[in-house]
């Protein structure tokens, strides 16, 4: 369990706001697929295995998605929808840059570990079609730039020490995206404990006089 009293902790993750009438079943399929991709890899997981985990026939799954690549693309889109919605809420909150960054890290970790079962947002990009790859990279870059703006805001207001926002954002994303490589749902650390630790570490490191200075 995470420690109480800090902004953004312990909140349930929200599903994307642009949900269609088939959203509930589609999200169930995405979560089943993400779990299979994490366990077997994208190329090792089959549509049959994804459907079987939901007690669904393969043919029924094709009602929602044309093929496995479209499921992978939808996994990325779903994650990015979650992050975009949370970023908009956090950015409009009026909180200081340090609180915004803490909440963004919390949302980032939970989206990766809880929403899609440890599937990194940027995993298996090479399996996407050129059009899907372009769409995912554009949305990923938009989130990246949003985080950089929060870092720049913190630097401008004297909360964060001066530095290169782009490189610092890369350090943050690299660390969080590596979590699924070692995370185990059966391990001793909960997703909230990991979110707390990463938020504490990066916010402290970026502060004026922080541990990394």
Q: For 69-123, how does the pLDDT look when each residue is reduced to its tens digit (9 = 90+)?
A: 999 999 888 888 888 999 999 999 999 999 999 999 999 998 888 877 666 566 6
- The per-residue b/e assignment along 35-63, b for 16 or more CB within 10 angstroms, e otherwise, is bbbbeeebeebebebbbeeeebeeeebee
The two three-digit tokens of residue 175, written as one number: 């660390």
CB contact at 8 A, 38 and 89: no
Q: CA angle, 151 as apex, 189 and 155 as ends, to 5°? A: 130
CB contact at 8 A, 137 and 83: no
Torsion-angle region of residue 41: left (phi > 0), alpha (psi -120 to 50) or beta?
A: left
Position 176 in a domain: yes
Residue among 107, 101, 126, 100 at smallest CA distance from 14: 107
CATH assignment at residue 109: 1.10.357.10
Structural domain of residue 136, as residue ranges? 68-206
The answer to whether residue 207 scores a pLDDT higher than 70 is yes
Position 14 in a domain: no
- Average pLDDT taken over every residue of the chain: 84
The answer to whether residue 55 scores a pLDDT higher than 80 is yes
Q: In sequence order, which residues have a C-beta less than 8 Å from that of residue 158 and are 6 or more positions away? A: 208
CB contact at 8 A, 124 and 72: yes
Distance CA 105, CA 172 (A): 9
Q: What is the mean pLDDT of residues 65-71?
A: 93
The number of folded domains in the chain is 1
Position 169 in a domain: yes
């Amino acid at each position: 369990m995470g420690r109480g009293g800090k902004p953004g902790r312990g909140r349930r993750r929200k599903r994307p706001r642009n949900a269609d009438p088939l959203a509930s079943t589609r999200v169930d399929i995405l979560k089943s697929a993400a779990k299979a991709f994490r366990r077997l890899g994208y190329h090792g997981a089959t549509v049959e295995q994804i459907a079987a985990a939901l007690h669904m026939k393969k043919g029924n799954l094709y009602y929602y998605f044309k093929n496995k690549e479209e499921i992978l693309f939808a996994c990325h889109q779903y994650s990015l929808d979650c992050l975009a919605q949370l970023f908009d809420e956090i950015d409009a909150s009026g909180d200081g840059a340090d609180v915004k960054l803490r909440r963004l890290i919390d949302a980032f970790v939970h989206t990766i570990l809880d929403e899609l079962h440890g599937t990194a947002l940027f995993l298996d990009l090479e399996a996407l079609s050129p059009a899907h790859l372009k769409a995912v990279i554009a949305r990923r870059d938009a989130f990246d730039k949003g985080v950089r703006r929060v870092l720049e805001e913190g630097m401008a207001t004297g909360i964060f020490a001066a530095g290169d926002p782009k490189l610092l954002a890369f350090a943050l994303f690299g660390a969080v995206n590596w979590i699924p490589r070692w995370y185990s749902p059966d391990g001793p650390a909960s997703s909230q404990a990991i979110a707390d630790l990463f938020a504490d570490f990066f916010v402290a490191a970026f502060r004026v006089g922080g541990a990394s200075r």
